Amino acid sequence: MNFLENSGKALTNMGTFGAYLTAGYDGKFNPMTIGWGQIGISQGKSVFAVMVRQSRYTKELLDKNPVFTVSVPFDTSHKTSLAFCGSKSGRDYDKIKECKLETVPSKEIDVPGISGCMVYECRVIYKTEMSKEETFPECNEKWYKNGDYHTVYTGEILNYKEN
Ligand SMILES: Cc1cc2nc3c(=O)[nH]c(=O)nc-3n(C[C@H](O)[C@H](O)[C@H](O)COP(=O)(O)O)c2cc1C
């Protein structure tokens, strides 16, 4: 299925329920809840850009193995798991095990998606470190008072599927 057909629904659901950003390597994977992201076109490719704060374990994982999946639930059934994955760190918990999440192997990358979701398989094509200097004052004030800026990882969408 063409990913664009469902991108509106995916963005709406991500903004409403949250979604799993899964990263990792060597068979160990960590889902983190995200609520912000962009689907679009860049450098002639279909892309999914995710925003990860410097403090996240997920940032360490993405910097080691720059591929990820975004898994967007169809409905509210993932509410409890998304709350856990959005408040606990993979440094302290095996979140897949704790939430009893079922993973689905990806076709194009070595990081799986999450069952019961729209799954985007992505490979990072560039990353952008946000900084105080390049961010508008009102945004610095609202979102980055503690200096924990986002890195934007723009991933080429290599495969899209619904599980
Ligand atoms: C609804 C929701 C949306 C979130 N969106 C983001 C996001 O877009 N980027 C981010 O860095 N953290 C976001 N977070 C916070 C992380 O999910 C949270 O800090 C998580 O525990 C980090 O996990 P990690 O240390 O295993 O990477 C969100 C949390 C919730 C509950």
What mean pLDDT comes out for the span 30-35?
A: 98
Q: What tokens appear for 5 in the block?
A: 């057909």
- Say if ligand 1 is within 6 A of residue 56 CB: yes
C-alpha–C-alpha distance, residues 155 and 49, integer Å: 6
Helix (H) or strand (E) holding 97: helix 95-98
Phi, psi for 56 (deg, rounded to 5): -75, 140
What mean pLDDT comes out for the span 18-40?
A: 97
Q: Is the pLDDT of residue 1 over 60?
A: no
What mean pLDDT comes out for the span 24-30?
A: 97
Residue 33 binned pLDDT confidence (cut-offs 50, 70, 90):
very high
Q: What is the mean pLDDT of the chain?
A: 96
* Rounded (5°) CA angle 113-155-130: 120
C-alpha–C-alpha distance, residues 27 and 10, integer Å: 27
What CATH number has the domain spanning 3-162? 2.30.110.10
What mean pLDDT comes out for the span 88-111?
A: 98
Q: How far is the CA of 1 from the centre of ligand 1 (A)?
A: 28
Task: Give the per-residue pLDDT at 98.
Answer: 98
Task: Give the per-residue pLDDT at 118.
Answer: 97
Model pTM greater than 0.85? yes
Q: How far is the CA of 53 from the centre of ligand 1 (A)?
A: 8
Q: Which of 56, 81, 101 to mutate to test the pocket of ligand 1 (most atoms within 8 A of CB)?
A: 56
Per residue in 102-153, pLDDT (tens digit) is 999 999 999 999 999 999 999 999 999 999 999 999 999 999 999 999 999 9
